[in-house]
Structure 1
């Protein structure tokens, strides 16, 4: 048994992603633990700090890793919050694993390294298959999003046909309509940051969920290749989200409905402006107009991030634009204001002429 005094005598197992990733030979990430046969009172006596909301989850007093009591769940309402959890000491490890989403996420490992795999998840890891654990999968619509996100992360895994059909049944039953914006955005953003974001869109479209949870993204699969190239270039989330929304005329509505962070919304709004401006920036006046429209003089870093996103779609002379931004920002507006003796109209015109002169000189 483990010599960790906090868990000495407890029946504990590493579960979920840490076990799956170890089987795939991937770097070790955060470990989640399940405790079988214990009570919240016993965990508190051992120094564990309770942090769970709907069900008992505790932080280890030293490592701060999460330890959850083994639990089962019963559908009690609609959507992903419509569950009643039971964490009695009689809940077995197998009971806990059966309520998980995919077989590859329903594998446990003892502290000594022995696998506990009642649902044959290790075989699905070897076969590269994403398969639902059981019919209870249909009770939580978030699992459709998670399935799509895992497909984007593990690009060499296929979705089991019966799992995809179950997702279609869930969409037809209206379960996807119960998803709340925060959960949609959480899974969407994580999928966009995966290695193959196109597979997330593919699974969502095949299940019918895409048009239900993000109807503003009609034709989103047309940008799938763009998103995969963005992933290959390690673009940050705002640039990837802007590319996702590039062909949508409803990007503002999508941002409001999913409560998308302001930085991502700004990139989505400005990328079409940038693309149009790049196509017509043949002279100093049009280049200055583009810099002003994208607020590049006040937020140059964001402008260069937008250029990186634009470069996914075609060649962009970023060094030239860096010189232009530097030149225009080098105009001393304060000195011009003093020379114009506070005449606002003259100041504005003089600053503009100085900036145009700098651009023309380049």
Structure 2
């Protein structure tokens, strides 16, 4: 039995980056032998074992053979005769197909170290195309390493396009797509994930509502970058540079989806895009299996983000209505999430980096002012039921009126 460190841990070590998780491959063994040594078996598709002390994952060396469509259309062989090179050959990218033995020696049968040095993302073998999920995985790695100068090798880019055009992506399980997209949103440059999919003609299959934003014009006065798709990805990268909150990042990505439905004859104006986009999102979230929290914030931001932009022009009663729609008094953190997504929308415009955006701080101040209003004094006055809520709302409007007087 031989044990090798594999995958991302080897790659990140060579890049001089901290290692998050370490994965191991066991060659020349079988499940009963590992169980006898105290390893705990997990996983249903093929045996993966947790080390009795470190709890790190140890997988038996395996090969895979395509037997059907989609992510699950594989038969797996983890016979003890499977070699390390055979196991590495089934991996996606050369930079992920390296191993290190127990003496620290590098095993690199597919020249992954050279691709690391050349900042190239390259597929290991033609077997790459057998798993359509790898189109998303390579896009995610592009988002992770773009800031280091990585790019996708030309032959690999052609392969991604071929896979997308084959129709195989339609067989992907929604939960797996969401997992990859959610991870991509929190990578260093999340826009690169969607750019890679767009270049490969895969975005129209994965997220057609986002894909159709590209080429849709906006008024140059407010959007010097003009293209709605470009604006959306600029906003996303700005949001990621200020937060790793998945809810905020997804909401930023989805805030202008309604602009893809604007009637051609009114372009580049987008009157009513807020409601159009918000109305799209429940069905999108259901189709793509998004969790409730991110999906809810995405719908709220799509529907109300322009109100935040015009906050200083709104009446106190309108501001209170916005806060209620944000559920600010039960979920106060939602206000900060909403405000950050609105800031990202503002700064996702070419040249707007030089301007201030006080609206987000002002909205948070409005929520704080309203939060000082409590029910207790009105109960003591003898009010009951709906009358308490009405009295509290009136007190909140008065607090907002007073606050607005201090605004520049």
TM range (shorter): over 0.9
For the pair 1:16 / 2:20, whether they are aligned, the reply is no
Once the two structures are TM-superposed, the CA of residue 323 in structure 1 deviates from its matched residue by 2.8
For the pair 1:137 / 2:128, whether they are aligned, the reply is yes
Once the two structures are TM-superposed, the CA of residue 347 in structure 1 deviates from its matched residue by 3.2
1:99-248 to 2 correspondences below 5 Å: 99-155=90-146, 156-217=149-210, 218-219=212-213, 221-222=229-230, 223-248=232-257
Secondary structure in 1 matching 2:345: coil
TM-score after normalising by structure 2: 0.83
Equivalence for 2:326: 294
For the pair 1:56 / 2:47, whether they are aligned, the reply is yes
TM-score after normalising by structure 1: 0.93
Equivalence for 1:328: 370
Residue 80 of structure 2: which of 78, 89, 101 is its match? Answer: 89
For the pair 1:339 / 2:381, whether they are aligned, the reply is yes
Q: Deviations over 1:226-281 (max 9, x none)?
A: 11111211241110100111111332222111111111011101113342222343
Alignment gaps of 5+ in structure 2: 215-228, 258-276, 347-356, 404-408
Once the two structures are TM-superposed, the CA of residue 348 in structure 1 deviates from its matched residue by 3.6
Residue 266 of structure 1: which of 296, 300, 325 is its match? Answer: 296
Q: 1:104 to 1:330 in 2, by over 3 A?
A: same
Equivalent-residue separation in structure 2 for 1:112 and 1:306 (angstroms): 51
For the pair 1:45 / 2:41, whether they are aligned, the reply is no
Count how many residue pairs are aligned between Structure 1 and Structure 2: 352
For the pair 1:76 / 2:67, whether they are aligned, the reply is yes
1:270-285 to 2 correspondences below 5 Å: 270-281=300-311, 282=313, 283-285=315-317
Alignment gaps of 5+ in structure 1: 1-9
Once the two structures are TM-superposed, the CA of residue 338 in structure 1 deviates from its matched residue by 4.2
Residue 352 of structure 1: which of 393, 396, 399 is its match? Answer: 393
Equivalent-residue separation in structure 1 for 2:310 and 2:318 (angstroms): 7
Equivalence for 2:337: 305
Secondary structure in 2 matching 1:312: helix
Higher mean C-alpha deviation, range 315-324 or range 146-155: 315-324
Equivalent-residue separation in structure 2 for 1:296 and 1:162 (angstroms): 51
Equivalent-residue separation in structure 2 for 1:252 and 1:67 (angstroms): 40
Higher mean C-alpha deviation, range 209-218 or range 174-183: 209-218
Q: 1:16 to 1:299 in 2, by over 3 A?
A: same
Equivalent-residue separation in structure 2 for 1:215 and 1:76 (angstroms): 29
Does the 8 Å contact 2:309/2:359 carry over to 1? no
Does the 8 Å contact 2:161/2:200 carry over to 1? yes
Q: 1:94 to 1:256 in 2, by over 3 A?
A: same
Once the two structures are TM-superposed, the CA of residue 340 in structure 1 deviates from its matched residue by 4.6
Once the two structures are TM-superposed, the CA of residue 24 in structure 1 deviates from its matched residue by 0.6
Equivalent-residue separation in structure 2 for 1:13 and 1:355 (angstroms): 63
Query: Cα RMSD over matched residues?
Result: 1.5
Equivalent-residue separation in structure 1 for 2:46 and 2:155 (angstroms): 30
Does the 8 Å contact 2:282/2:295 carry over to 1? yes
